[in-house]
């Protein structure tokens, strides 16, 4: 079967995350999600996630569209992860458009349009008000 891999933090899970995962899953038979560790998230976003990596992985694994999860520790390991998980397709939201084209030598690389007007930051702001 076709193995699709995607990566992300998926903190404060929302419908933008869900739509991305469902579209990614629809590209193949198995969806494997690399979930950014707390430490990697701190470096990437300059703040700790609201939910811990084990909580975020638990939520993702419970979704019908997700088959497997693994911790993503850095951007530099992306090629390693794609090989290890035998990715046929790498699927990402288009906030990363072009950023992962270097992996087209080992898998198909697809960028999906982001769901407009929803983000973890927007959710945090909405609750804060
Ligand atoms: N997403 C989306 N629409 C939104 C918000 C997010 O389609 N409104 C998608 C993003 O494009 C991404 C996925 O949901 O593909 C996860 O988003 P984040 O948790 O913000 O992931 P990010 O921190 O960008 O991690 O190796 C790359 C990364 O670790 C990406």
From atom 16 of ligand 1, which residue's Cα is the shortest distance away? 8
ipTM over cut 0.90: yes
Give the helix ranges, DSSP H, for 1-129: 15-26, 38-45, 53-61, 78-84, 120-128
C-alpha 84/C-alpha 106 separation (Å) is 12
Q: How far is CA 33 from CA 6, 29, 46, 93, 128, in A?
A: 5, 13, 22, 13, 29
Could you tell me the distance, in angstroms and rounded to a whole number, from the CA of residue 20 to the centre of ligand 1?
Answer: 8
Confidence (pLDDT) at 129: 83
C-alpha 2/C-alpha 5 separation (Å) is 10
Confidence (pLDDT) at 89: 99
Confidence (pLDDT) at 57: 98
Confidence (pLDDT) at 16: 98
Confidence (pLDDT) at 50: 97
Asked if 5 contacts 89 with a C-beta cutoff of 8 angstroms, the reply is yes
Of 16, 18, 42, 45, best ligand 1 pocket probe by most atoms within 8 Å of the beta carbon: 16
C-alpha 43/C-alpha 45 separation (Å) is 6
| Residue 48 in tokens | 């700790």
Could you tell me the distance, in angstroms and rounded to a whole number, from the CA of residue 96 to the centre of ligand 1?
Answer: 8
- pLDDT tens track for 32-79: 999 999 999 999 999 999 999 999 999 999 999 999 999 999 999 999
What SS3 state is found at 109?
strand
Of 89, 93, 103, best ligand 1 pocket probe by most atoms within 8 Å of the beta carbon: 93
Neighbouring CB atoms inside 10 A of 23's CB total 17
What lines the ligand 1 site, CB under 6 Å? 7-10, 16-17, 20, 36, 44, 72, 75, 92-93, 95, 114-115, 118-119
């Amino acid at each position: 079967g076709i193995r699709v891999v995607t990566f992300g933090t998926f903190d404060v899970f929302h419908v933008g995350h869900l739509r991305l995962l469902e579209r990614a899953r629809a590209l193949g038979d198995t969806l494997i999600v690399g979930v950014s560790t707390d430490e990697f998230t701190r470096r990437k976003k300059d703040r700790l996630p609201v939910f811990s990596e084990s909580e975020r992985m638990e939520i993702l694994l419970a979704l019908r569209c997700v088959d497997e999860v693994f911790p993503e520790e850095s951007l530099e390991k992306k090629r390693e992860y794609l090989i290890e998980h035998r990715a046929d397709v790498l699927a990402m939201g288009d906030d990363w458009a072009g950023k992962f084209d270097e992996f087209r030598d080992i898998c198909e690389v697809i960028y999906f349009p982001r769901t407009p007007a929803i983000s973890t930051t927007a959710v945090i702001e909405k609750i804060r008000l």
